[in-house]
Amino acid sequence: MAKIQQNNEVIGNETKSVYSSEYQQVMFDFDAKLKSVISHGSDNAVKKHRERGKLLARERIDLLLDPKTPFLELSSFAAFDQYNNNFPSAGIVSGIGVIHGRECMIVANDATVKGGTYVRETIKKHVRAQEIAFKNNLPCVYLVDSGGIFLPEQSKVFPDRYDFGRVFYNQARLSAEGISQIAVVMGSCTAGGAYVPAMSDETIIVRNQGTIFIGGPPLVKAATGEEVSAEELGGGEVHSSISGVADHLAEDDIDALKICRRLIEKLPKATKFESTIQPEKSPLYPSENIYDLLPIDLKKPIDMKAIIKHLVDGSDFQEFKETYGKTLITGFASLKGIPIGILGNQSFLTAESARKGAHFIQLCNQRQIPILFLQNITGFIVGKKYEHEGIARDGAKLINVVANSSVPKITLIVGGSFGAGNYAMAGRAYDPDFLFMWPHARISVMGGEQASGVLKNIGGNGASNNLIDQFEEESTAYYSSSRIWDDGILDPAQTRDILGLAFTITLNQKLGNTKYGVFRM
């Protein structure tokens, strides 16, 4: 992702004219890349799909959701610049939308992309969607239209812990938690894929269109010599009246989506955790002005307080320890009416700023206030003086509280995300509920020049321009999003709306008690 998609209109296009000149090129590039990944498969595949009377994956989602409500699409750039760009959005659309007022996780196969088959990123995206559903107590709707595993990639998608089998494992665990699993079979569900509907609490299948079978007609013929059509083997009539693998028979896509909406309507009401929601207030500064605050050159500082004032309600930010550990800004605000705590980097982390951050996160946990991490971090301060003062010990305190914090946390990478600073500021390994990046942001263990310098000093062979080029390529937001190291790339001007949606979703969590490990004093 992305922009918020609403009834197939992209909100925010009108902001183009106000891009700052420096950021304009970044946004033109972002828009062009986004357009290429959300355009589904090839023209031929789309034509064939439509001739079969089927709707495209994003059209299906649009009809499933309540009118005029936003869809928080995740990881649109999955598989970008991989597989010769033959898997736009990794052939699957995932995200959170509202059905009869209830937030739901939607996972929709895109059959126009290699028959909706799964490569590594497709699985990662599907599994990630289920993890978000698990944590945030979101009913799952699977709009199934898939040929299963993309066979040439089988060794990368079949056997390991988080490979294809994890999808069905997660369905079993989600269902056991009372998180509803609903499948709408709108095309193929072959082999392992047959378990998506079979493992669901309720399944809808479209007549003369949906099929579910462990082995398709060619495999049956090869194995037993039996000749049977797909419809006869595992079509809608078969599964809704003979096998019982499906529970509802729909006439077409639209009918199936209507039935699905009715099923969600009948689910028990969701309970949200107590948060003192205030009426929402706009920031004092237009969101589009954020572009002017973003230097393309990451060596130039970003004014984090100014960014915060463009994101939060009324631009009202109550700072905590304003004059101490100033390289980390901490404080309280509201976003779309939801009280949040914010930690934002103003420079590298020092012992004081690490202790300040740890103290602040403890406050947020004690008060049950969700946290927003704004990363622009080169790492912890280095040098003899700081090592002697025990910077590693103070850094560890911050990492300890971030790892054990139990309130919702969302991370936004606004600039650089390098080294252990990434860990201390709730990088992916620290399980933030959502992690987003801005289009020009960078993520890697260190900058290319620094890595080259390190290798030069230790006499390594890789100290060359090649290494700098490699780091340059591997650290972009698109490289990260393609591999699902994040949940999406955001248009800075839409970030407030998207964070508002994301924090609203986290209010569905059941909060546990916070426990910390041993702090080295």
Binding stretches for ligand COA (CB under 6 A): 111, 114-115, 117, 147-151, 188, 190-192, 216
Least Å distance, CB 89 to ligand COA, is 16
CA distances from 130 to 61, 195, 198, 214 (A): 17, 15, 17, 23
* Closest to ligand COA by CB, 137 or 190: 190
Least Å distance, CB 256 to ligand COA, is 18
390 backbone φψ class: left, alpha, beta (φ>0; ψ -120 to 50)? left
Which residues sit opposite 206 in a β-bridge?
250
* Closest to ligand COA by CB, 211 or 353: 211
* Closest to ligand COA by CB, 21 or 84: 84
Nearest position to ligand COA, beta carbon: 147
* Closest to ligand COA by CB, 86 or 368: 86
Least Å distance, CB 190 to ligand COA, is 4
Contact 91, 117 (CB under 8 A): yes
* Closest to ligand COA by CB, 164 or 291: 164
Distance CA 521, CA 357 (A): 16
Distance CA 177, CA 433 (A): 18
Least Å distance, CB 331 to ligand COA, is 51
* Closest to ligand COA by CB, 165 or 337: 165
Contact 428, 387 (CB under 8 A): no
Distance CA 30, CA 28 (A): 5
> 92-99 and 72-74 as β-strands: parallel, antiparallel, unpaired?
antiparallel
Least Å distance, CB 375 to ligand COA, is 38
* Closest to ligand COA by CB, 97 or 115: 115
Least Å distance, CB 90 to ligand COA, is 14
CA distances from 112 to 115, 122, 147, 154 (A): 6, 14, 11, 20
Least Å distance, CB 158 to ligand COA, is 8
Query: What are the DSSP E strand ranges found in 38-175?
Result: 72-74, 92-99, 102-109, 140-146
CA distances from 465 to 157, 228, 440, 449, 481 (A): 34, 60, 21, 9, 25
* Closest to ligand COA by CB, 233 or 277: 233
Please name which of 74, 176, 84 lies closest in space to residue 124, comparing C-alpha atoms: 74
Query: What are the DSSP E strand ranges found in 220-295?
Result: 248-250
DSSP per residue, 179-226:
--EEEEEEEEEEGGGGHHHHTSSEEEEETTT-EEESS-HHHHHHHH--
Least Å distance, CB 60 to ligand COA, is 16
